[in-house]
């Protein structure tokens, strides 16, 4: 059995800018979930989220040594920080768009996550 | 065993002031490093200088920052490294010598590292832009600034010449940390694994508290204690190459494997090939180990590759003006009143003949942050702020936006609110767009210029 949850529950993220592009990391909280993230957070899945604002390619890099993926979203800032009319001119808020991705996970992972969440909320 | 401790005082020009003093008082540091630049710093400084020729070319925060720490740094033998020289590192060095005299410091050696500013010649170097492959010479009339990211060589040379304070223009941000490490441990800049380690250290701490809990907190998921008193990071490296990242003792924030991973990948494209002036770093060879509370060991032993024959240059191009306005709505019908205001303004633009090169409308509270990628929602928020931003060729056209929005206070839609800030021109700025290029490194030598307080 599987369940759906937001990527935010199993990963954290930081976004930065480089010229016209943004980079957005996806880092497994628990290194054990890296394989799941690697399988689920594909270029296709990221494209679905970012295509409306990305004018260029989306590249994915695997960084297993730190159980993370790094995405480069090309031309996502309407010309880059220096030229953009976007309100979030640096794209630093884009990490939260990444974490809004819905991912399908096995049930047992879900119960483990619920335990974590209870602990976090205490 | 020899150990060197580097304190990261600032991530950029307008970062907090307290961390420098805290690092100096409680960090047991050997070097105090101030990164004062972002990508746009040089071009904005140049644009401001064109408006006001008397404005210093260096970071306006340089003197107030140094005034707080210079005397104590000299007393303790803590050396200062900063890129806050911006357009004029020699002017900055001379100003610091004056400051030292004002503070009663009787002996101080300040080094300016110059070279790398190409504004006057970049159009004639036969180079092309990375972004579009066009020759830079075609944009000659628009060029505001051009400068390369220099490596750590100038900083090392300045330290060899006994500088207490090293002030550079644009260098790779992490070079502010690589420089003192290479100097202290005698690393050859051709020894790419060692240099890569120095750049990993610099990359982790160059953004100040971003590695010690800044930009990290997500309540309920990633909690960070006492963020208001966040401590800035300290990198300790020993002669055997062991690296520990920690922070100011008894401060807020957190240094963990997770904070280090977030910062390792920050502003990185291909992690296996992170291009730096002195080396190419492979971040896929880096790992972290929590060694105690707020202490993380960084393992980066074979992470280097030989440097490339070129240095990256940033070229700032004058591309017109940007203006933005906000109009506020709340309560029943807030969204439809905001939308009606948009229609009204579009009609007014037609009447007065305003034709911006680009125009953008956002509804704050609905879609202003993630823009067109925002998920569709049925919920109507209580408040809506209409934002309009335009790009124009001239300042006069940019001013027309405010001239049209201000009268909405009396002739617009009902229940309209206006945002408070309204000093003239405050919502207009010149656009200096950045492009980049690759410059053969032999074309941009650096030089160290010494200025000193004379013995009294």
Residues of chain B found within 8 Å of residue A65, distances taken between Cβ atoms: 284-287
**For the stretch A36-45, what's the b/e string if a residue is b when 16 or more beta carbons lie within 10 angstroms of its beta carbon?**
bbbebbeeee
- Mean pLDDT score of chain B: 96
Contact present, B46 and A82 (Cβ < 8 Å):
no
With bands split at pLDDT 50, 70 and 90, how would you rate the model's confidence at B365?
A: very high
Nearest-angstrom CA–CA distance, B185 and B114: 24
Which residues of B, range 57-86, sit inside 8 Å of A by Cβ? Answer: none
Please indicate if any CB of chain B lies within 8 Å of the CB of A86: yes
Q: Which residues of B touch A81 (CB under 8 A)?
A: 39-40, 434
Rg (CA), chain A: 15
Residue B316 makes CB contacts below 8 A (sequence gap 6+) with A82, B40, B42, B43, B46, B47, B143, B144, B145, B146, B432, B433, B434
The tens-digit pLDDT sequence of chain A (122 residues) is: 899 999 999 999 999 998 899 999 999 999 999 999 999 999 999 999 999 999 899 999 999 999 999 999 999 999 888 899 999 999 999 999 999 999 999 887 766 666 555 555 44
pLDDT band at B456 (very low <50, low <70, confident <90, very high): low
Encode burial over B364-400: b for 16+ CB neighbours within 10 A, e otherwise. Answer: bbbbbbbbebbeeeeeeeeebbbbbbbbbeeeebbbb
pLDDT of B422? 59
Q: Domain segments of chain B: what residues? A: 3-115+150-308, 316-435
Q: How many residues does chain A have?
A: 122
Q: What is the mean pLDDT of residues B325-344?
A: 96
Name residues 289-318 of chain B within 8 A of A (Cβ).
Answer: 316
Instruction: List B138's β-bridge partners, or say none.
Output: none
Of the partner residues A49, A51, A63, the one whose CB lies closest to the CB of residue B265: A63
The CATH code belonging to domain B316-435 is 3.30.70.2750
pLDDT score recorded for residue B421: 58
**Residue given tokens 């002030």 in the structure block:** B167
Whether the model clears a pTM of 0.90, i.e. scores above it, the answer is yes
Among residues B165, B17, B2, B7, the alpha carbon closest in space to that of B79 is found at: B165
> What digits encode the pLDDT tens for the residues B92-130?
999 999 999 999 999 999 999 999 999 999 999 999 999
Q: Give pLDDT, residue B423.
A: 59
User: Is the distance from CB of B294 to CB of B247 less than 8 angstroms?
Assistant: yes
Which of B45, B215, B366, B370 best tests the A interface by mutation, with the highest count of A CBs <10 A? B370
Length of chain B: 456
- Residue bearing tokens 């740094």: B73
Cα separation, B264 vs B286, in Å, equals 9
Residue A20 and residue B431: Cβ atoms within 8 Å?
no
């Amino acid at each position: 059995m599987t369940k759906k949850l937001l990527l935010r529950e199993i990963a954290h993220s930081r976004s930065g800018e480089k010229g016209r592009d943004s980079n957005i990391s996806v880092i497994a909280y628990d290194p054990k979930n890296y394989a799941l993230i690697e399988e689920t957070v594909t270029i296709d899945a990221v494209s679905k989220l970012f295509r409306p604002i990305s004018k260029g390619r989306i590249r994915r890099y695997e960084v297993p040594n730190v159980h993370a993926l790094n995405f480069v979203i090309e031309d996502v800032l309407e010309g880059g920080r220096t030229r953009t009319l976007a309100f979030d001119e640096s794209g630093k808020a884009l990490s939260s768009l990444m974490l809004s991705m819905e991912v399908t996970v096995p049930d047992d992972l879900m119960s483990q996550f619920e335990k974590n969440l209870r602990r976090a909320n205490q | 065993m020899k150990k060197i401790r580097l304190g990261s005082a600032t991530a950029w020009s307008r970062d907090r002031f307290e961390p420098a003093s805290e690092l100096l008082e409680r960090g047991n540091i050997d070097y105090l490093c101030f990164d004062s630049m972002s990508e746009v710093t040089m071009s904005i400084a140049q644009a401001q200088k064109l408006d006001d020729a008397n404005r210093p070319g260096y970071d306006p925060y340089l003197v107030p920052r140094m005034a707080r720490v210079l005397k104590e740094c000299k007393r303790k033998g803590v050396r200062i490294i900063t890129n806050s020289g911006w357009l004029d590192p020699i002017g900055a060095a001379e100003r610091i010598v004056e400051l030292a005299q004002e503070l009663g410091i009787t002996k101080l050696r300040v080094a300016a590292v110059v070279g790398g500013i190409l504004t006057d010649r970049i159009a004639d170097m036969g180079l092309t832009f990375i972004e579009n492959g066009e020759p830079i010479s075609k944009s000659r009339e628009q060029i505001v600034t051009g400068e390369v990211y220099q490596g750590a060589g100038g900083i090392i040379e300045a330290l060899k010449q006994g500088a207490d304070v090293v002030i550079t223009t644009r260098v790779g941000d992490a070079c502010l940390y690589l420089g003192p490490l290479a100097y202290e441990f005698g690393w050859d800049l051709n020894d790419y694994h060692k240099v890569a380690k120095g750049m990993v250290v610099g990359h982790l701490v160059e953004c100040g508290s971003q590695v010690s809990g800044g930009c990290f907190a997500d309540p309920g998921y990633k909690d960070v204690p006492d963020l208001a008193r966040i401590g800035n990071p300290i990198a300790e490296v020993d002669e055997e190459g062991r690296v520990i990242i920690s922070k100011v003792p008894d401060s807020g924030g957190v240094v963990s494997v997770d904070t280090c991973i977030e910062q390792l990948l920050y502003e990185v494209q291909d992690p296996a090939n992170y291009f730096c002036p002195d080396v190419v770093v492979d971040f896929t060879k880096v790992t972290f180990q929590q060694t105690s509370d707020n202490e993380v060991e960084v393992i980066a032993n074979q992470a280097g590759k030989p440097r490339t024959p070129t240095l990256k240059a940033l070229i700032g191009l004058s591309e017109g003006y940007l203006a933005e306005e906000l109009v506020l709505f709340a309560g029943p019908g807030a969204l439809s009143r905001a939308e009606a205001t948009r229609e009204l303004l579009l009609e007014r633009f037609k009447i007065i003949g305003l034709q911006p090169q680009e125009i953008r409308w956002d509804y704050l509270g609905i879609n202003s942050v993630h823009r067109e990628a925002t998920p569709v929602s049925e919920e109507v928020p209580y408040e809506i702020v209409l934002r309009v931003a335009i790009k124009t060729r001239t300042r006069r056209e940019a001013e027309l936006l405010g001239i049209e929005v201000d009268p909405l206070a009396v002739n617009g839609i009902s229940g309209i609110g206006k945002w408070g800030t309204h000093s003239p021109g405050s919502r207009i700025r010149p656009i200096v767009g950045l492009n980049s290029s690759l410059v053969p490194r032999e074309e941009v030598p650096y030089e160290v210029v010494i200025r000193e307080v004379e013995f009294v």
